A and B are shown apart, each in its own frame.
Chain A
Amino acid sequence: MDADTGTDPSADPIVDAVRVVVPDADVAAGPGLVTATVVRDRWVEAVLALRDRPETACDWPDFLAASDEVPRRPGDADGYAVIVRLWSVEQRHGVALRTLVPRDDATLPTLTAVWPGLAWHEREAHDLHGITFAGHPDLRPLLTPDAPGGWHPLRKDTPLVARQVLDWPGAADPAGARGRPPRPYGADA
């Protein structure tokens, strides 16, 4: 139940439509956003189905982005998630299609053949998360410097340079407390 609207998000008709159009997707309904997760091999196929089937008719790509998924509990996703939000101009509904690529092989087929306008979105995801989009016409860095070996600042294993050049101010101990405070990420051990 959505506490704001008093409605059940899973009762949204788009949820059933997505289950029909992409039968192998893991569909989750949250307030205002329906998420469908597919395996990497079905990425382009699922996008085309969501675009072309009349049940969904998601003909407008809102955005494409990536996220570094670090598991917190056993069974959580581990890898880089790529999300593309698709919207139906006609039917005024949308779905966020999501897939997971492994860290040691962060590649995904490009969607630029489906929508050329996603080229910059994929370049941005390549910049920030180091995901290689196979078949992309031009993966030159868009936002980040062209560092040798690549510099992907939104990967969670990328060092925070500012913390390497600063001393952690929390290390001071005016009261002379016993023990050491837990150090945040990047502070000298």
Chain B
Amino acid sequence: MTGAGSPRAGRSDSADSAPPPRSRGVIALDPAKCPACMVCARECPDWCITIEGHTETTPSEREGRRPVTTTVLDRFEIDWSLCLYCGICVEVCPYDALSWQPAFDYPASEPGGLVHDATRLTAWSQVHPGN
């Protein structure tokens, strides 16, 4: 378990009940690393990841080369009401854009409240930045 001074994840009644730093509480996104390659969404057995993106074409820096096409992430959502916490998405991500974080306390009171968008998923990466 975590010792004194280690990051606390979510609400807990005592320091002893704080989960270990690498426990499977929530999955965080680093949007800067994600080129919307769709691997996680296609491997997810519960179909809980939704990704949208578009391609942008920029002229090549070098004369005579073809323009460079990159994919830009527009939308990344995980529906925690469907997720079974298997971690396949974290395993298969070729860009290490997804990581486990120990936060576990994110209830919702409205339908759809368990769908986290890219902003919320990115914020989870601050729980234990080393993951």
B33 located at the interface, meaning its Cβ lies under 8 Å from any Cβ of chain A in the complex:
no
Q: Is the CB of B52 within 8 A of A174?
A: yes
Measured CA separation A37–B51 after assembly (Å): 48
Q: Is the CB of B53 within 8 A of A174?
A: yes
Measured CA separation A139–B50 after assembly (Å): 42
Question: Total interface residues on B, using CB and 8 Å?
Answer: 19
A148 located at the interface, meaning its Cβ lies under 8 Å from any Cβ of chain B in the complex:
no
Who on chain B is nearest to A167 by CB? B47
Measured CA separation A166–B44 after assembly (Å): 14
Q: Mark each residue of chain B from 11 to 53: 1 if its CB lies under 8 Å from any CB of chain A, else 0.
A: 0000000000000000000000001111001101101011111
Which B residues are in CB contact (< 8 Å) with A163?
Answer: 47
Q: Is the CB of B51 within 8 A of A169?
A: yes
Measured CA separation A184–B73 after assembly (Å): 24
Q: Is the CB of A174 within 8 A of B71?
A: yes
| Chain B residues numbered 42-98 whose CB sits less than 8 Å from any CB in chain A | 42, 44-45, 47, 49-55, 71, 73-74
Measured CA separation A184–B88 after assembly (Å): 15
Contact of A172 with B71 at beta-carbon distance under 8 Å, contacts A181-B38, A181-B42 already known: no
15 A-B pairs with CB atoms under 8 Å apart are A163-B47, A166-B47, A169-B44, A169-B49, A170-B41, A172-B41, A172-B50, A174-B38, A174-B53, A174-B54, A174-B55, A174-B71, A175-B36, A175-B55, A181-B42
Give chain B's interface residues, CB within 8 Å of chain A: 35-38, 41-42, 44-45, 47, 49-55, 71, 73-74
